[in-house]
């Protein structure tokens, strides 16, 4: 996320928005936020205004109509995140622990390693306690929630074609969840709260961005990703044809254009780093890492007989080449047996799971409106546009219409 | 291999050595040679001299006593290899095809993609035809030969301890062979000539050397490897503790020192490439790639229930940290169920298999003396010292005592 985007996100979504029930996922590279807003500045007990319907829910408890919103910040710029939360003038009522006197102790749900690392900072700067939730619990809760509640959440991507997949709620489990953040977690999900982290790899989004930054001097992850769009990996990768004099190695099914060795051409070219185009470096790196994740994910899915692999995490960013490489890797290694799928809210599984733990602990009930409103965002204002993928298509408005019932 | 080593290898092993039956493996990064030498300048039919015993074998065919020698060159410096072969004044008798008039057509066995790519160059410069053998066939033949014929070939490496493994010839198969060259091949071996290339990865030795060269400006693979010896990967890798504020993530068994994201720390440090020590970069890169290969190898061994995984190829070079990382990866991911083993002649499987194809085609019979002579090499001369691993222990003299029976 570059500075311009960060500013956009820091703007209030609507000037009169009322924010409550914010939850965090503080990872190694990024902080992800999920929060609920109504379009009214009225409290839960006041009358409805604008499009916000406040009605009586079960047992007469107030129901708020509104949206779930998503935002992200670089972990290295955590103060921007703190300023954002402060600027939202959070209604604290929803965050107080049961039985605690008003204004005494404000807590917000948080997951990821940063919930531990930055607990003191949140206390000091905002007077907020971070109520820690387990990272894997949250990823799985977020994933299960999205796959069940949001109609157009999961999709396949092949040959540039995105296709939404309708999930049969009775046939969701088991599946493999691959969350690609700075590192990668691979989780076998067997049901609500039933899962096992079966594998992972330390070659993930942090590797792409860390190595990419050193090799190209790019200033942001998105800039590096954008560069890859125009690059040609064959400039640096050693292909089968480079070794075999342009021929295929047909006996074992490797065509001349198969990558034999990522970055392998750099060993014999009499070129320095500066002689390579950043575009080509970015492309090779993205392909190497995406393909590697696809391969290890498939091998783990195979162990447990899982045919469906959902890829999430902020490494992907709805980026066509990333998804295409992952999908092709899964297809190639599984000989078409397994299928890669992607999630529209890819980066927010942990934060959503963290948000949902309010529900788990009896603070609220969340009811998502089945059809996600794909309302156009006013581009001049930025709004809750989270990132700007090169293909411009995905994630333009990820907010989710829902109602919450305060308990 | 740097220039100094290249010169060392180009020196004749002994001035009076008689070379015959040379075979090649021309890969993407390196050319590997295996050749037989006697210590006499006498031909097979002449009387024995020095330590070379020439006797009558089966059916009165001449038997030559001598050694198998190994050498390597960078593929990018293929002319050095051609000069080396020319300087050896190869006795051509052993290379002629059956029935061809003497001096008419000289062929040598060759495998690897370069056997196709450089066929014309060998014809033009040396008048030699490269008789192509399949790369996987040769790797497996070389591996089977070494594991059966050489007593101290396979060893485990753990916590800095090398331990030779005695292979029961009746219990060798099946096993997994992982050959790490520029790219990586993973082969399930079920018996002599019975095998399947089940997987591979394009993140291999070419990736280490290619990326390492771009990141550190090192002039040779061995220099890069040597650097890694003094490096600290924690300077650049993002550890679990970096995310969790120094804590372990105990619930899923990740200690604070586990690498969460290779090169992940480079995303938030305000450092340029020049601000990192090449030693640390090399260490992180070596660990990332070795660990990744270990993980993918184990996952593939698991698919086929293979407990023994032999790692070979010139990426390893008897390097302690590489072997340790691979062994730890296999141990970690298999929860101690599978075992990584290494081969003393790691880089020469393909070349050996190529050499043995003379036998397959009825040109000679090879009989290895069971005990490998670990004769000291005169360091001042270089001799057949192939490479100079940082620990100085392995591969000091890889030559194999044997006799060949010309048929």
Check CB contact under 8 Å for A243 and B276: no
Q: Do A262 and B210 touch (CB under 8 A)?
A: yes
Write out the two tokens for B205: 């030795």
The model scores a pTM over 0.90: no
The fraction of chain A above a pLDDT of 70, given in percent, is 78
Q: Measured between CB atoms, which of B260, B266, B303 is closest to A183?
A: B260
Q: Do A113 and B262 touch (CB under 8 A)?
A: no
d(CA B310, CA B339): 9
> Hey, what are A310's tokens?
């959902």
Contact list, A276 vs chain B (CB under 8 Å): 214
Mutate to test the interface with B, among A267, A285, A289, A301 (most CBs of B within 10 A): A267
What value does the CA radius of gyration of chain A take, rounded to a whole number of Å? 22
Reported as a pLDDT band with limits 50, 70 and 90, residue A128 is very high
Distance from CA of B330 to the nearest CA of A (A): 13
Q: What pLDDT score was predicted for residue A252?
A: 84
Query: Which chain B residues have a beta carbon less than 8 Å from that of A280?
Result: none
Statement: residue A80 has pLDDT above 70:
yes
Rounded Cα distance, A391 and A228, in Å: 12
Chain centroid to CA B274: how far? 33
Angle CA A32–A38–A39, to nearest 5: 115
HEC-encoded secondary structure of chain A? CCHHHHHHHHCCCCCCCEEEEEEEEECCCEEEEEEEEECCCCCCCCCCECCECEEECHHHCEEEEEEEEEEEEEHHHHHHHHHHHHHCCCCHHHHECCCCCCCCCEEEEEECCHHHHCHHHHHHHHCEEEEECCHHHHHHHHHHHHHHHCCCCEEEEECCEEEECCCCHHHCCCEEEEEECCCEEEEEEEECCEEEEEEEECCCHHHHHHHHHHHHCCCCHHHHHHHHHCCCHHHCCEEHHHHCCCCCEHHHCECCCCEEECCHHHHCCCCCHHHCCHHHHHHHHHHHHHHHHHHHHHHHHHHCCCCEEEEECCCCCCCHHHHHHHHHHHHHHCCCCCEEEEECCHHHHHHHHHHHHHHHCCCEEEEECCCCCCCCCCCCCCCCCCCCCCCCCCCCCCCEEEEEEEC
A182 contacts B261? CB cut-off 8 A: yes
pLDDT category of residue A58 using cuts at 50, 70 and 90: low
- Of the candidates A328, A215, A320, A219, the residue with the CA atom closest to the CA atom of residue A273: A215
Q: Which residue of B has its CA nearest to A271?
A: B214
Intervals of chain B under pLDDT 50:
1-16, 41-55, 92-100, 370-396
Cα angle B119, B120, B125; round to 5: 105
**Cβ-Cβ contacts under 8 Å, A214 against chain B:** 215, 263, 266, 272-273, 276, 281
Asked whether B127 and B175 are in contact (CB, 8 A), the reply is no
Best of B244, B264, B275 to disrupt the A interface (most A CBs within 10 Å) is: B264
Task: Mean pLDDT check: name the lowest of A39-53, A92-106, B219-233.
Answer: A39-53
Mean pLDDT confidence for A58-63: 68
Residue of A202, A238, A246 with shortest CB distance to B288: A202
Among B258, B262, B269, B293, most A C-beta atoms within 10 A, so best to mutate, is B262
Q: Tell me which residue has tokens 């990996």.
A: A233
Residue of B119, B213, B243 lying closest to A266 (CB–CB) = B213
> How far apart are the CA of B54 and the nearest CA of chain A, in angstroms?
40
Task: For A158-174, write each residue's pLDDT tens digit.
Answer: 888 999 999 998 999 99
Q: How far apart are CA B29 and CA A399, in angstroms?
A: 51
Q: Report residue B12 as tokens.
A: 């004749």
B188 contact partners, CB below 8 Å, separation of at least 6: B174, B175, B176, B177, B195, B196, B198, B300, B304, B306
Q: Which residues does A341 contact at the CB level (< 8 Å), separation at least 6?
A: A154, A155, A156, A165, A308, A309, A310, A311
User: Cα–Cα distance between A116 and A353 in angstroms, integer?
Assistant: 17
d(CA A290, CA A203): 9
Judging contacts by C-beta atoms under 8 Å, the chain A residues touching residue B314 are none
Shortest Cα distance, chain A CAs vs residue B96, angstroms? 25
CB contact under 8 A, A136 and B333: no
Inter-chain residue contact B243 with A28, CB threshold 8 Å: yes
Cis peptide before B174 (omega within 30 of 0): yes
Q: Do B182 and A265 touch (CB under 8 A)?
A: no
Contact A264 B114 (CB under 8 A): no
Q: In what order do the strands lie in the sheet with A194-201?
A: A161-164, A154-158, A339-343, A308-312, A175-180, A184-191, A194-201
Mean pLDDT of A146-164: 92
Report the residue of B211, B288, B290 to disrupt the A interface, i.e. the one with the largest count of A CBs within 10 Å.
Answer: B211
CA of B306 to nearest chain A CA: how many angstroms apart?
A: 14
CB nearest B242 (choices: A28, A240, A263): A28
pLDDT digits (tens, 9 = 90+) for A342-379: 999 999 999 999 999 987 766 677 777 644 444 332 22
Residues of A in contact with B210 (CB under 8 A): 236, 238, 261-267
Q: Residues B315-350: pLDDT tens digits?
A: 999 999 999 999 999 999 999 999 999 999 999 999
- Chain-chain contact of B263 with A27 (C-beta, under 8 angstroms): no
Selecting from B116, B215, B262 the residue whose C-beta is nearest the C-beta of A203 gives B262
Tell me which residue has tokens 């292909």: A239
B312: distance to nearest CA of chain A, Å? 16
Report chain A residues whose CB lies below 8 A from the CB of B299: 199, 296, 299-300, 303
CA dist A187 and A177 (Å) reads 5
Which of B212, B395, B396, B219 has the alpha carbon at shortest distance from B314?
Answer: B395
The reply to whether residue B117 touches residue A244, judged by beta carbons under 8 angstroms, is: yes
Mean pLDDT across the stretch A311-323?
94
H helix and E strand count, chain B = 11, 17
Looking at beta carbons, which residues of chain B come within 8 Å of A328?
none
CA separation for the pair A348, A354 (Å, rounded):
10
Q: Which of B30, B119, B183 is best to mutate for the A interface (most A CBs within 10 A)?
A: B183
Please indicate whether, in this complex, the C-beta atoms of A260 and B183 are within 8 angstroms of each other: yes
Interface confidence, given as ipTM, is 0.85
What integer best gives the mean pLDDT of chain A?
81
Residues of A in contact with B268 (CB under 8 A): 29, 74-76
């Amino acid at each position: 996320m570059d500075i311009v985007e960060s500013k956009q996100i820091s703007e209030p979504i609507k000037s009169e928005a009322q924010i409550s029930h914010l939850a965090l996922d503080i990872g190694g590279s990024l902080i992800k936020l999920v929060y609920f807003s109504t379009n009214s500045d009225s409290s839960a007990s006041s009358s409805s205004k604008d499009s916000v319907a406040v009605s009586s829910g079960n047992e007469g408890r107030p129901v708020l109509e509104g949206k779930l919103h998503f935002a992200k910040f670089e972990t290295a710029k955590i103060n921007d995140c703190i300023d954002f939360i402060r600027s939202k003038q959070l209604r604290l009522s929803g965050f107080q622990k049961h039985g605690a006197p008003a204004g005494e102790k404000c807590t917000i749900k948080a997951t990821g390693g940063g919930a531990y690392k930055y607990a003191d900072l949140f206390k000091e700067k905002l007077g907020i306690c971070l109520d820690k939730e387990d990272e894997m619990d949250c990823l799985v809760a977020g994933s299960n929630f999205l796959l069940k509640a949001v109609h157009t959440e999961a999709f396949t991507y092949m040959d540039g074609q995105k296709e939404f997949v309708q999930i049969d709620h009775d046939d969701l489990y088991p599946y493999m969840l691959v969350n690609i953040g700075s590192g990668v977690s691979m989780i076998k999900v067997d049901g609500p709260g039933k899962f096992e982290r079966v594998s992972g790899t330390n070659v993930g989004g942090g590797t792409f961005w860390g190595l990419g930054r050193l090799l190209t001097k790019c200033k942001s992850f998105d800039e590096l990703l954008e560069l890859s769009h125009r690059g040609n990996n064959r400039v640096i990768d050693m292909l089968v044809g480079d070794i075999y004099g342009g021929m295929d190695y047909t006996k074992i099914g490797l065509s001349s254009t198969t990558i034999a060795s990522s970055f392998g051409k750099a060993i014999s070219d009499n070129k320095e780093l500066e002689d390579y185009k950043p575009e080509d470096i970015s492309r090779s790196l993205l392909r190497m890492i995406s393909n590697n994740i696809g391969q290890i994910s498939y091998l783990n899915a195979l162990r447990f007989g899982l045919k469906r692999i959902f890829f999430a995490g902020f490494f992907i960013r709805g980026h066509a080449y990333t998804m295409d490489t992952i999908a092709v890797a899964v297809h190639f290694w599984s000989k078409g047996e397994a299928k890669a799928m992607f999630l529209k809210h890819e980066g927010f599984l942990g934060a959503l799971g963290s948000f949902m733990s309010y529900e788990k602990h009896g603070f609220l009930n969340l009811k998502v409106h089945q059809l996600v409103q794909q309302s156009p965002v006013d581009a001049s204002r930025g709004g809750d546009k989270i990132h700007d993928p090169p293909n411009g298509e995905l994630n333009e408005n990820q907010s989710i219409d829902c109602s919450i019932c305060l308990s």
